[in-house]
């Protein structure tokens, strides 16, 4: 369930409550006359099944300029009325994509922030160390830490809705993020090479780690599956599934390996790992966009009260 808080101009409160009353899956409607101060108006509260959210938000879209709409996830609801509302709404909650919620998330994830740069730089450096130590466990840890999938999802959303500015911003975030992370890792690896701590021999990876530097047909297939799973985990709110996506694709490991190889002047290895990085990003973008298209076209998004 979602808990909605609306601030409505008094002259349109009856119109807003009529929309809520007519929408399947909406219950616990409360009207507080004159309770809002900024912006001024009436406060309307309700709970709505996720499957009904798109219909409600779409019909109340005028509140974005005339009032306010806020929504939050309800973690616990002990109510027969709420249970009936969920049953009234067609489909299953995990299948419902709340497009306004997704839009806000991908726009936020498409921006370059200090936190994004820091996490990506740390993850890339961890990967560089993992390559030098031949440590698959450290590679996995770096994969989980990498924050780049948010920008990939923003590209997918932008392609679906033809929002070219969002696509450009998300690609810039990916490019700048990896450029900064690789530059920092190259600098650290170069200093280590000057100190005699590492050399070209350290790039000899064991068989278990070849997948991060030897792109092949399986690399693209894995990226496709990861992209689809990543978008599903975001739209369904399954954060645990998203961790699996981070572990399955080798974007950050490829960047870390490329950085170490660049510092050591191993240009062939730089090219292979850069290709691996590009293959993974492309595969995730293709699969993520197709997944969003399927969700918008075929999965139940908008509820309608049955005639029976």
Closest-CA residue to 169 (of 145, 142, 150): 150
Mean pLDDT across 26-31: 94
Q: State the Cα–Cα distance between residues 53 and 99, nearest whole angstrom.
A: 9
Count other Cβ atoms within 10 Å, centred on residue 183: 14
Give 274-296 pLDDT, tens digit per residue.
Answer: 999 999 999 999 999 999 999 88
- What's residue 292's pLDDT? 93
- Cα–Cα distances (Å) from 30 to 161, 244, 303, in that order, read 35, 41, 21
Cα 87 to Cα 25, 48, 76, 300, distances in angstroms: 7, 11, 16, 14
CATH class of 2-96: alpha beta
Give the global pTM: 0.83
% of the chain residues with pLDDT over 70: 88
* Burial zone of 306 (CB within 10 Å; 0-12 exposed, 13-18 middle, 19+ buried): exposed
Sequence ranges of the domains in the chain: 2-96, 101-298
Strands 68-73 and 40-48: unpaired
Do 269 and 261 touch, CB atoms closer than 8 A? Answer: yes
Q: How many other β-carbons are positioned within 10 Å of the β-carbon of residue 82?
A: 18
| pLDDT of res. 137 | 83
Q: How confident is the model at residue 119 (pLDDT cuts 50, 70, 90)?
A: very high
Give the pLDDT mean for 226-244: 75
Work out the pLDDT band at 197, boundaries 50, 70, 90: confident
pLDDT confidence bin for 308, thresholds 50/70/90: very low
Least confident of 44-53, 137-146, 183-192, 254-263: 137-146
What is the phi-psi region of residue 205: left when phi exceeds 0, alpha when psi lies from -120 to 50, beta otherwise? beta
The residue-averaged pLDDT of 202-224 equals: 75
How confident is the prediction for the chain on average, in pLDDT?
86
Of 45, 155, 55, 151, which is closest to residue 99 (Cα–Cα)?
A: 55
In the prediction, which pLDDT does 191 show? 93
Evaluate the omega torsion of the peptide bond into residue 39 and state whether it is cis, within 30 degrees of 0. yes
- Which is more confidently placed, 55 or 247? 55
pLDDT grade for 52, boundaries at 50, 70 and 90: confident
Count other Cβ atoms within 10 Å, centred on residue 197.
11
Of 117, 93, 229, 221, the C-alpha closest to 174 is 117
Residue 243 confidence (pLDDT):
64
Is the pLDDT confidence value at 303 over 60?
A: no
Higher-scoring residue by pLDDT: 68, 232: 68
Q: Is residue 214 scored above 80 in pLDDT?
A: no
Per DSSP, the residues of the chain read -EEEEEEE-GGGHHHHHHHHHHSTTEEEEEEEEEEEETTEEEEEEEEE-HHHHHHHHHHTTTHHHHSEEEEEE-S----HHHHHHHHHSSS-GGG---HHHHHHHHHHHTS--HHHHHHHHHHHHHHHHHHHHT-HHHHHHHHHH--THHHHHHHHHHHHHT-HHHHHHHHHHHHHHHHHHHHHHHHHHHHHHHTTS--GGGG---GGGGGGT---HHHHHHHHHHHHHHHHHHHHT-HHHHHHHHHH--HHHHHHHHHHHHHTT-HHHHHHHHHHHHHHHHHHHHHHHHHHHHHHHHS--S------
């Amino acid at each position: 369930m979602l808990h909605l808080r609306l601030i409505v101009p008094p002259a349109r409160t009856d119109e807003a409550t009529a929309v809520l009353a007519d929408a399947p899956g909406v219950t616990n409607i409360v009207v507080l006359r004159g309770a809002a101060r900024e912006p001024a108006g009436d406060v309307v509260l309700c709970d709505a099944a996720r499957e009904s959210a798109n219909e409600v938000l779409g019909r109340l879209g005028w509140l974005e300029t005339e009032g306010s709409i806020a929504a939050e996830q309800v973690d616990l609801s002990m109510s027969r009325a709420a249970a009936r509302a969920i049953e009234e709404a067609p489909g299953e909650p995990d299948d419902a994509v709340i497009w306004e919620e997704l839009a806000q998330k991908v726009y936020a994830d498409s921006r370059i922030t200090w936190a994004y740069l820091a996490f990506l730089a740390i993850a890339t450096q961890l990967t560089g160390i993992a390559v030098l130590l031949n440590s698959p466990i450290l590679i996995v840890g770096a994969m989980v830490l990498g924050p780049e999938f948010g920008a990939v999802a923003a590209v997918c959303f932008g392609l679906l809705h033809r929002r070219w500015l969002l696509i450009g911003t998300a690609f810039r975030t990916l490019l700048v993020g990896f450029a900064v992370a690789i530059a920092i890792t190259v600098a650290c690896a170069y200093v280590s090479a000057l100190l005699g701590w590492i050399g070209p021999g350290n790039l000899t990876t064991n068989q278990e780690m070849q997948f991060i530097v030897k792109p092949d047909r399986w690399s693209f297939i894995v990226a496709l599956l990861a992209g689809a799973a990543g978008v599903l985990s975001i739209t369904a709110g399954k954060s645990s599934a998203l961790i699996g996506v981070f572990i399955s694709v080798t974007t950050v490991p490829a960047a870390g390996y490329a950085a170490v190889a660049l510092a050591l002047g191993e240009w062939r290895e730089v090219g292979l790992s850069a290709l691996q990085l590009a293959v993974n990003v492309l595969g995730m973008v293709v699969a993520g966009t197709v997944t969003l298209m399927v969700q918008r076209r075929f999965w139940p998004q908008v509820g309608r009260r049955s005639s029976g």
